[in-house]
Every structure is written in structure tokens, then in C-alpha cells.
A = this chain, B = another copy of it.
Amino acid sequence: MPNPFYDRDIVSIKDFSKADLEFVFSATDKIRAMKPSERGELGKGRTLGYLFYEPSTRTRMSFEAAMASLGGSFIGISELKSSSVEKGESLADTIRIIDLYSDVIVLRHPMDGSSRFAGELSSNPIINAGSGSEEHPTQALLDLYTILKEKGKIDGLSIGIVGDLKYGRTVYSLLYGLANYKVDVHLISPQSLQVRKESIYEIQNKLKVKEHTDLDEVLPKLDVIYVTRIQRERFPDLQEYEKVRGTYTINSATLEKARKDVSIMHPLPRLDEISTSIDGTQNAVYFRQASYGKELRAALLALMLNENPAL
């Protein structure tokens, strides 16, 4: 199979087939097995240009670390106030310039469609590092890769997604990614933070999806619990927030009621939705997940920048 990522924009997880996903997963396996000196040849002399219109230290550093491990460089803007953006420059012009200065662009932008738009303008390939309310394709890729590595497979699993399912863009990207597999998905959230109906509609023919407000009712079935942050600002009533917050916190008591080998995932940063008391358990996958993320991004960049990178 020829490299499906060479010189290609990564805008939405929906743009990729199951074979594409497996291609980048296999490349990630190979890059993890490589010696640093070999990896360091894959991005040599290449520059990643990033534009973060929303802050995201973690995602930015993950891409920087990935590019550094390939021997490449990175430049960009992560702070809007000091940039030409403040002088009123359009997104289109900013994209065109970073395109001239780099070999691959990483863009985070609050608007839906921003990455598709950027991809059409730029001659070099673009990676959507989060746009609008739904898309964060590399997060979905690393989430799927994490499940694969931790469970040995994705098909046949019961996957619970817990927390703020309405506003978290990682949730939607993950769901669209999971739609390539045969999994049972359990969505657990307060009524007011349920997944948007139009998004459920899109995936319900492909995935078995059930919605819950009570985590305990489904907990014993789950192979994976994917936890997301619930933001206080979302609740008009602080009392309701406190109740919800207590209900969905993952701690030792949760683990006792769960499958022994349940994997707890989180896109990070976490606040208190996962108790630090379980950090030392084998169930706590969230830090390994971040590590897989760096490796998967390195593999993806290597595939985008090189036609036949021996991955």
C-alpha cells in the first residue's frame, strides 16, 4: 500500500479509511522501535510551522517534541497578542506566509472549517490541531492507537466516554474514529452536557451507542473509560455542578466496581475528574497516552514529509 499521508492534509478523522488508520498505527510501531539516530534523519532540514489561535501548550509541545525527534525544526506563533494577527491580518494571509516559511503547518483555530480552508490555500500539507467544536484528528488517532496498544485490539470492546460530551471536541473526533470499528460505545454525562444529537445521528448507523447519566450502571461492562474535563463555567447552577463533579470522579472506589483490566484514558490536562490516588495503577493509561501521542505525531509527520520513509 502506498503511503496515504504523503503531502496530504490532516483535516478531519472522517477523511481517513480504516486502512489509513492502520497504516499510521503500523508506522508508529516502527518509529518507536527506531534508534534516535535513524529517526533523526526523517525530518532533517525540514521545518514545522505552527499557528495557535487558541492556547494549547500540550498539543504544541507534543508536535514540537515529535518534530525534534525527527531532526527537524519548528517555528510559529502561539501567542496572538505579539503577532501580526493583532495588526488585523487575515487568516488567509497568515497561512500563506507560514506556508512559505515551513514544510508542514500545524493549525489550531476556534472556527469550524478553518483547517480545510487553510489546506486549500497552502501548498504544503496542513495538520488540524483542533478546530471548532468537533475536529481534532491527531487526538483521535492517538486515542485509537492507545486503545490498540493497551488492549491489543479495538474491535469488540466496550468503551465508555464520560464527562462533558457536548463541548469537548476530542469526544467527537474519537467517536468518528471509533466508527471504523465494531465497538459498543457508552456515553455517560449529565443531561445538559450530552453529545449533540446531530453528531450522534451521523455515527449511529456505524456504532452501537447508548447514553447514560449514571456511570455506575454501566461501569462493570467497560473495557475503556475515556474521561473528559467538566468545566464549572458550563453550569448556571453551582449546586448541580458539584453533584455532577462528584458523580463522575474516577477514584479507587470506581476501580473496585470496574473490570479489573479497565483502562482509564484522558486527553489531559486533568483537574480532579480523575483522582491522583489511581495514578500508580496499571489502569491509569493517561500518561502513556500522551507518550503514544508524541510517537504517533512523529510517525504522521514522517509520513507527510517523506514519500517512502521506510516506516
Interface residues of A, Cβ cutoff 8 Å to B? 36-37, 39-40, 44-47, 49, 55-58, 61-62, 64-65, 68-69, 71, 73, 75-79, 82-90, 92-94, 96-98, 100-102, 229, 268-271, 276, 287, 290-291, 294
Q: With A83-B55, A88-B271, A270-B93 in contact, do A65 and B101 touch (Cβ < 8 Å)?
A: yes
Give the docked Cα–Cα distance between A96 and B229 (Å).
18
Whether A47 contacts B76 by the Cβ 8 Å rule is no
What number of copies of this chain does the assembly contain?
3
Name the residue on B nearest A71 (C-beta).
B45
B residues near A98, Cβ cutoff 8 Å = 61
B residues near A100, Cβ cutoff 8 Å = 287, 290-291, 294
Give the docked Cα–Cα distance between A269 and B94 (Å).
8
Whether B69 contacts A45 by the Cβ 8 Å rule is yes
Q: With A55-B82, A65-B75, A75-B68 in contact, do A271 and B87 touch (Cβ < 8 Å)?
A: yes
Q: With A65-B75, A276-B92 in contact, do A97 and B268 touch (Cβ < 8 Å)?
A: yes
B residues near A36, Cβ cutoff 8 Å = 44-46
Choose among B79, B268, B291, B294 the residue that contacts A79 (Cβ–Cβ < 8 A).
Answer: B79
B residues near A64, Cβ cutoff 8 Å = 73, 75, 101
Give the docked Cα–Cα distance between A77 and B94 (Å).
22
B residues near A61, Cβ cutoff 8 Å = 49, 75-77, 97-98, 101
Give the docked Cα–Cα distance between A92 and B286 (Å).
14
B residues near A271, Cβ cutoff 8 Å = 87-89
Whether A47 contacts B73 by the Cβ 8 Å rule is no
Q: With A73-B68, A89-B271, A101-B61 in contact, do A45 and B40 touch (Cβ < 8 Å)?
A: yes
Central interface residue in A37, A49, A73, by most chain B CB within 10 Å: A73
What distance in Å separates the Cβ of A92 from its nearest Cβ neighbour in chain B?
A: 7
Whether B84 contacts A57 by the Cβ 8 Å rule is yes
Name the residue on B nearest A231 (C-beta).
B87
Complex A-B: 14 CB contacts under 8 Å: A36-B45, A39-B45, A56-B84, A57-B77, A61-B76, A64-B101, A65-B102, A79-B79, A84-B269, A87-B271, A92-B276, A100-B290, A100-B291, A100-B294
Q: A-B pairs with the 3 shortest C-beta distances?
A: A68-B73, A89-B269, A65-B101
Name the residue on B nearest A293 (C-beta).
B100
Name the residue on B nearest A77 (C-beta).
B57
Choose among B69, B92, B287 the residue that contacts A96 (Cβ–Cβ < 8 A).
Answer: B287
Give the docked Cα–Cα distance between A216 and B116 (Å).
39
What distance in Å separates the Cβ of A181 from its nearest Cβ neighbour in chain B?
A: 26
